[in-house]
């Protein structure tokens, strides 16, 4: 492995700013490098749907057998402009004034470096497709709107997790619910009995809804409880938001019904009405531990001399939309640490490992 070239590639990528919504320059850079490696490239123009000047990059390199999709995201969180990467004792950091951008440019660097290694060696390799998405940090938007008709792969690896060796094969459905309770205003001093207290109804409902780890496979939370107004006026409007994450779609739906029931009963008690809006953020992912995809990843880590392990995560990533489009997928850790902070860093040995793992997967 050409470690110096790998480091230089990663430095080149993080120095090219690509905060969410402003990925254009990085898209152009990656297209150029994919083209030099022999990939056929398609611009998946989803920028207008995502609020971005960039686009998803879908590309393919012909090889042997069925293609495998490798996926990572092009965007970073802020502050991600004028990143100055520094190598200290085998670990890459920013200068402390910005993020580093290892999330997720370490993954993109590993993919392209692995492919370049294979081409240099003239080794036979499997067919490979890549999906590099935009606006992942804004809610997985690039992957949500991607044109999956362009993708032939039936199996995929998303490279967007921290711990090296981690294979995430289970993710929850993530559903947000927005409740608005309507009452009737009245003067709280002169005629309170003429009002319908939306705030009290909403508060009763919130008190009835569980939060935290509500069962073995579900977490729930409530936030943004609002009822702006004056102290001398009976509140005629109140609202709050909920989030449900569950590894079972059926269980998630049951919790949604229970939350709505709590709101409905509270509104009945006070004579209020309510409105409810449900927003789907992600779908359940469940890939069996003994799947051929996971066996392939395990074998690659073994060849790289590193341990690996299966895990589940309540976090979200592009894998949810890939899986929802009929592609078996797991999410791999690439070694990035303290992401979304100015302390973000990645060890060179971990960057080497994930590059080597991809190399072994593509040359199996």
Q: What is the pLDDT of residue 235?
A: 97
Same-domain status, 163 and 95: yes
User: What's the Cα-to-Cα distance from 300 to each of 170, 306, 354, 355, 364, rounded to whole Å?
Assistant: 20, 9, 10, 11, 8
Same-domain status, 337 and 261: no
Structural domain that includes position 209:
173-282
Same-domain status, 312 and 184: no
Same-domain status, 178 and 189: yes
Same-domain status, 81 and 199: no
Same-domain status, 136 and 25: yes
Same-domain status, 123 and 263: no
- The enclosing domain of 133 has a CATH number of 3.40.630.10
What string of DSSP letters covers 33-75?
HHHHTT-EEEEE--HHHHT-S--EEEEEE--EEEEEEEEEE--
Q: What is the pLDDT of residue 16?
A: 98
Tell me how long the chain is.
364
Boundary residue ending a domain (260, 282, 304):
282
- The enclosing domain of 236 has a CATH number of 3.30.70.360
Give CA–CA dist 249/255, Å, rounded.
Answer: 10
Same-domain status, 268 and 291: no
Same-domain status, 43 and 124: yes
Nearest Cα to Cα of residue 210 among 242, 178, 168, 246: 242
Task: Quote the tokens at residue 152.
Answer: 């032939």
Q: What is the pLDDT of residue 315?
A: 84
Q: What is the pLDDT of residue 49?
A: 97
Q: What is the pLDDT of residue 327?
A: 97
Boundary residue ending a domain (282, 315, 350):
282
State the total domains in the chain.
2
Q: Please, are residues 127 and 63 in contact by the beta-carbon 8 Å criterion?
A: yes
Q: Please, are residues 135 and 50 in contact by the beta-carbon 8 Å criterion?
A: yes
The pTM for the full model equals 0.90
Same-domain status, 238 and 332: no
Boundary residue ending a domain (236, 255, 282):
282
Q: What is the pLDDT of residue 119?
A: 96
Q: What is the mean pLDDT of each run of 10 residues along the chain (364 residues)?
A: 97 98 98 98 97 98 96 98 98 98 98 98 96 96 97 98 96 96 96 96 98 96 97 97 96 98 98 97 93 97 96 91 96 97 98 98 94
Q: What is the pLDDT of residue 96?
A: 97
Same-domain status, 123 and 50: yes
Same-domain status, 84 and 162: yes
Instruction: Give the 3-state secondary structure of residue 156.
Output: strand
Q: Please, are residues 281 and 317 in contact by the beta-carbon 8 Å criterion?
A: no
């Amino acid at each position: 492995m050409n470690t110096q070239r790998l480091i230089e590639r990663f430095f080149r990528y993080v120095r090219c700013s690509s905060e969410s919504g402003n990925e254009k320059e990085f898209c152009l850079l990656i297209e150029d490098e994919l083209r030099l490696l022999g990939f056929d490239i398609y611009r998946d123009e989803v920028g207008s749907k995502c609020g971005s000047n960039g686009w998803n990059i879908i590309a393919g390199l012909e090889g042997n057998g069925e293609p495998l999709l490798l996926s990572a995201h092009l965007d970073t969180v802020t502050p991600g402009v004028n990143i100055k990467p520094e190598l200290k004792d085998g670990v890459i950091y920013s200068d402390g004034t910005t993020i580093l951008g290892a999330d997720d440019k370490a993954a993109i660097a590993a993919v392209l470096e692995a492919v370049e290694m294979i081409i240099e060696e003239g080794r036979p390799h499997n067919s490979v497709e890549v999906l590099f998405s935009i606006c992942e940090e804004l809610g997985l938007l690039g992957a949500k709107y991607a044109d999956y008709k362009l993708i032939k792969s039936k199996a995929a690896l998303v490279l967007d997790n921290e711990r090296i060796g981690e294979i995430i094969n289970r993710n929850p459905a993530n559903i947000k619910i927005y409740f608005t309770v309507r009452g009737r205003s009245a003067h709280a001093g002169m005629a309170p009995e003429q009002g319908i207290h939306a705030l009290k109804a909403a508060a009763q409902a919130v008190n009835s809804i569980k939060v935290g780890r509500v069962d073995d496979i579900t977490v729930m939370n409530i936030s943004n409880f609002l009822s702006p107004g004056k102290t001398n006026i009976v509140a005629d409007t109140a609202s709050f938001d909920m989030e449900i994450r569950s590894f079972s779609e059926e269980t998630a739906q049951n919790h949604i019904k229970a939350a709505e029931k709590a709101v409905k009963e509270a509104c009945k008690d006070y004579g209020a009405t309510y409105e409810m809006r449900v927003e789907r953020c992600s779908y359940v992912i469940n890939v069996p531990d003994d799947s051929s995809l996971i066996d392939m990843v395990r074998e690659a880590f073994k060849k790289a001399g590193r341990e690996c392990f299966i895990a589940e995560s309540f976090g979200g990533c592009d894998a949810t939309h890939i899986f929802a489009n009929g592609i078996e997928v797991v999410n791999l850790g690439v070694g990035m640490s303290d992401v979304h902070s100015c302390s973000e860093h990645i060890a060179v040995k971990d960057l080497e490992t994930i590059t080597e793992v991809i190399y072994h997967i593509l040359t199996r």
